[in-house]
Amino acid sequence: MDTITDPSIEMQQLAKKIQQCCSCELSSTRTHIVVGTGIIPSTLMFIGEAPGKNEDQQGIPFVGRAGKIFDQLLNSIQLHRNNVYITNILKCRPPKNRNPTIHEITRCSTWIDQQLKIIQPQVIAPMGSFATHYCCSKFNITFTTIGSMHGIPMKITHRKFTGTLYPLYHPAATIYNNQLKHTLFDDFKKLNKILSTIL
């Protein structure tokens, strides 16, 4: 007989394992592991790139400058961190916020795969090239550029995920680029429409 497990408890158990991860060299420079935050399960799952300095200090995703923009984006469509799930491809901060390496992504991906199973989202919104590239390779879609893929919903039928993949620019990319910020806010409006068709 199958045992029915509460997804929040499953996530707590997974978080304990993630907290002990030493499978790449980032474990030696991190202050905190950033597992993720939000409601479990969740219709909508955001995936960022990796913790930055503030996230590493606090153990919470998107609490720095990019996080402020992210909160504004959520609020612009009447959402809040408590209504969605937010995590990153990498759970530990790369030193000096350098790009994640393929080795680190490969090692860390075991965690996001397990999070995905627990969260059971209907919409996955990867933010930025690294997260979008990761999702595309996971679901057998060709990644081109974030500039050509953002704001375009894609129906995915894959053994690991059935639902909509909706790539977005990374909020950090919009800090010094107002045009991109407008685009990102517009893409959030479209996201709201997508959500209204499934809720």
Among 36, 38, 48, 100, binds ligand URA (CB under 6 A): 48
In whole angstroms, how far apart are CA 150 and each of 39, 77, 188?
25, 18, 11
Residue placing its CB nearer to ligand URA in the complex, 88 or 174: 88
Which residue's C-beta sits nearest to ligand URA?
Answer: 48
The span of 4-12, 44-52, 114-122, 135-143 binding ligand URA (CB under 6 A) equals 44-52
Question: Per CB under 6 A, does 104 bind ligand URA?
Answer: no
86, containing H or E segment: strand 85-88
Among the listed residues 33, 40, 66, 92, the single contact to ligand URA using CB under 6 A: 66
Rule CB under 6 A: is residue 51 a binding residue for ligand URA? yes
61: number of Cβ within 10 Å: 28
Binding window for ligand URA (CB under 6 A); candidates: 3-11, 59-67, 175-183, 187-195: 59-67
CA distance 195 to 192: 5
State in angstroms the smallest separation of the CB of 65 from ligand URA: 8
d(CA 9, CA 122): 21
DSSP 127: B
Give the nearest distance from C-beta 47 to ligand URA in angstroms: 9
Rounded CA-CA distance 96/140 in Å is 31
DSSP designation for 173: G
| 88 lines the binding site for ligand URA (CB under 6 A) | yes
Q: Which of 172, 173, 184, 191 binds ligand URA (CB under 6 A)?
A: 172
Q: Is 56 in the site for ligand URA (CB under 6 A)?
A: no
For 33, the token pair is 């592991």
Question: Smaller CB distance to ligand URA: residue 52 or 121?
Answer: 52
Q: Tell me how far the alpha carbon of residue 113 is from its chain's centroid.
A: 12
> Measuring CA to CA, how many Å separate 114 from each of 11, 89, 131, 192?
9, 12, 16, 26
Q: Which residue from 11, 49, 85, 136 is in contact with ligand URA, where contact means CB under 6 A? A: 49
Residues that bind ligand URA in the complex, under the rule CB under 6 A: 48-52, 55, 61-62, 64, 66, 88, 172
